[in-house]
Amino acid sequence: MDLGTLIREARTFEDWIVELRRTIHRKPELMYEEVETSALVQKTLRELGIPFEAGIAETGVLATLGDSDGPCVALRADMDALPIHEEADVDFRSEVPGKMHACGHDCHTAMLLGAARLLKSRESEIRGTVKLVFQPAEEGGAGGKRMREHGILRAPEVQRIFGLHVWPLADSGEIASRAGTFLAAAASLEIRIQGKGGHAALPHLTIDPVVTSARIISELQTIVSREADPLTPLVISITTVHGGDAHNVIPEEVKLGGTIRTLSSEHMTAVQSRVREVADRIAVANRCQAEVHYPGEDYPPTANDAECWRLAGDIWKDEFGGQTVHTSPPIMGGEDFAFYTEEVPGCFVGLGIHNPDEGCTFSVHHPKFKADESVLPLGSAMHVAYAFRSLEELRAG
Ligand SMILES: [Zn+2]
Ligand SMILES: [Zn+2]
């Protein structure tokens, strides 16, 4: 099944894919609240005559095509949006204040529905099973982990999994990824620094958590610059600082939030323990108390199977040429596709959407982020080509 044929077919219903994407874009829903998005996915699958199970991990959907004999490949999309107020220059802007599809998960869901339509039209040619995974809560809620725990990789056993992410670091018409670790392990972080409040003009009668928090913020950076091997990537970013309400009052406490990124789970564990020590001891030295808390799930690093990335690159090269397939360095972004590749070989690929002619120049997670919609049929076709070629390879053993 060659990519070019699939792209030409997907182009015949490009408007359908784009409309699905825009419908989802207008009504962004945050993690585990993807009720309308999930309903749209289910309605579309029903219209296409594809059986599915819904309500997995709250809003997740698992559709199945093909015959139950033979190998099994899964294709995955995520459905959740971000708490960002959209400022993009598009006429289908988010209708929900403070929420936006700024990571392109609306594109991912629409592309996978496009793939569903392509697969349905050639279902008799599927020799094996193709599972379509529409998951909730990629942005910090570990929706992929809950989908996995529900057993979506079992019965039949998934032998390969594939996921696409719209990729502002590559031009439209290109793909980027790598064999091995592609995306980082990620853990969010909260630190509560407790002091003793009082009049700002009488600091000697207080224990100031603001000054202490400033020291903790600076000192955490020395874990990166003085403790980590300079050739081993590590990021510690403190991204929220909350404390105090008045110019002339020293507050009781300050709360910090942030994230840690590493390229291995072992390094993550070691850094988390050092963050705890550093925060605690600086707080003690300043007569405060620090409580370090790691809320939510830690994401493992996303590691691509070398064979799976080779296959994805080959499919793309055959259609667009060798210069359009980029070997990316590892990226310190986290991605819960990692929960699937922990268990089965797979590949997570960046699908280029950088297109200055269409004003698509902002990065994901930016309020002005805008995806180049002309790549959506390419993504749908790529999913399907990957599934067919994988089933072929797996059958051949
Ligand atoms: Zn994101
Ligand atoms: Zn994303």
Ligand nearest to the CA of 105: 2
Quote the ligand 2 centre to 119 CA distance (angstroms): 24
pLDDT, residue 69, reads: 83
pLDDT, residue 338, reads: 98
Ligand nearest to the CA of 100: 1
Q: Are residues 317 and 265 in the same domain?
A: no
Quote the ligand 2 centre to 134 CA distance (angstroms): 13
CA dist 326 and 257 (Å) reads 34
pLDDT, residue 296, reads: 79
pLDDT tens track of the chain, all 397 residues? Answer: 799 999 999 999 999 999 999 999 999 999 999 999 999 999 999 999 999 999 999 999 999 999 878 999 999 999 999 999 999 989 999 999 999 999 999 999 999 999 999 999 999 999 999 999 999 999 989 999 999 999 999 999 999 999 999 999 999 999 999 999 999 999 999 999 999 999 999 999 999 999 999 999 999 999 999 999 999 999 999 999 999 999 999 999 999 999 999 999 999 999 999 999 999 999 999 999 999 999 978 999 999 999 999 999 999 999 999 999 999 999 999 999 999 999 999 999 999 999 999 999 999 999 999 999 999 999 999 999 999 999 999 999 8
pLDDT, residue 67, reads: 85
- Whose structure tokens read 């909260």? 190
Ligand nearest to the CA of 78: 2
Quote the ligand 1 centre to 394 CA distance (angstroms): 32
In angstroms, how far is the first alpha carbon of the chain from the final one? 18
Rg of the chain in Å (alpha carbons) = 23
293, 322, 337 — which closes off a domain? 293
Q: Are residues 153 and 217 in the same domain?
A: no
Ligand nearest to the CA of 167: 2
Ligand nearest to the CA of 365: 1
Quote the ligand 2 centre to 30 CA distance (angstroms): 12
- Read off the tokens for 75: 């294709």
pLDDT, residue 95, reads: 98
DSSP state of 205: G
Quote the ligand 1 centre to 365 CA distance (angstroms): 6
Q: Are residues 12 and 152 in the same domain?
A: yes
Q: Are residues 225 and 358 in the same domain?
A: no
Share above pLDDT 70 across residues of the chain, in percent, rounded to a whole number: 100
Q: Are residues 191 and 327 in the same domain?
A: no
Q: Which residues surround ligand 1, an ion (CB under 5 A)?
A: 103
Quote the ligand 1 centre to 87 CA distance (angstroms): 17
Ligand nearest to the CA of 108: 2
pLDDT, residue 16, reads: 98
Query: What residue numbers bound the domain in which 227 lies?
Result: 184-293
Q: Are residues 225 and 316 in the same domain?
A: no
CB 332 within 8 A of CB 302: no
Whichever domain contains 246, its CATH number is 3.30.70.360
Q: Are residues 165 and 221 in the same domain?
A: no
Q: Is 49 contained in some domain? A: yes
Ligand nearest to the CA of 140: 1
Quote the ligand 1 centre to 163 CA distance (angstroms): 14
Quote the ligand 2 centre to 103 CA distance (angstroms): 5
Quote the ligand 2 centre to 31 CA distance (angstroms): 12
Q: Is 298 contained in some domain? A: no
Q: Are residues 134 and 270 in the same domain?
A: no
Q: Is 34 contained in some domain? A: yes
Quote the ligand 1 centre to 139 CA distance (angstroms): 6
269, 293, 317 — which closes off a domain? 293
Q: Are residues 326 and 281 in the same domain?
A: no
3-state secondary structure at position 266: helix
Q: Each residue of 243-272: b (16+ CB within 10 Å) or e?
A: bbeeeeebbbbbbbbbbbbbbbbebbebbb
Q: In angstroms, what CA-CA distances link 98 with 28, 29, 87, 95, 311? A: 10, 10, 10, 9, 40
Neighbour count for residue 97 (Cβ, 10 Å): 8
pTM of the model: 0.93
Ligand nearest to the CA of 135: 2
pLDDT, residue 68, reads: 76
Q: Are residues 349 and 236 in the same domain?
A: no
Q: Are residues 85 and 211 in the same domain?
A: no
Domains of the chain: total: 2
Q: Are residues 23 and 71 in the same domain?
A: yes
Quote the ligand 2 centre to 138 CA distance (angstroms): 7
234, 261, 293 — which closes off a domain? 293
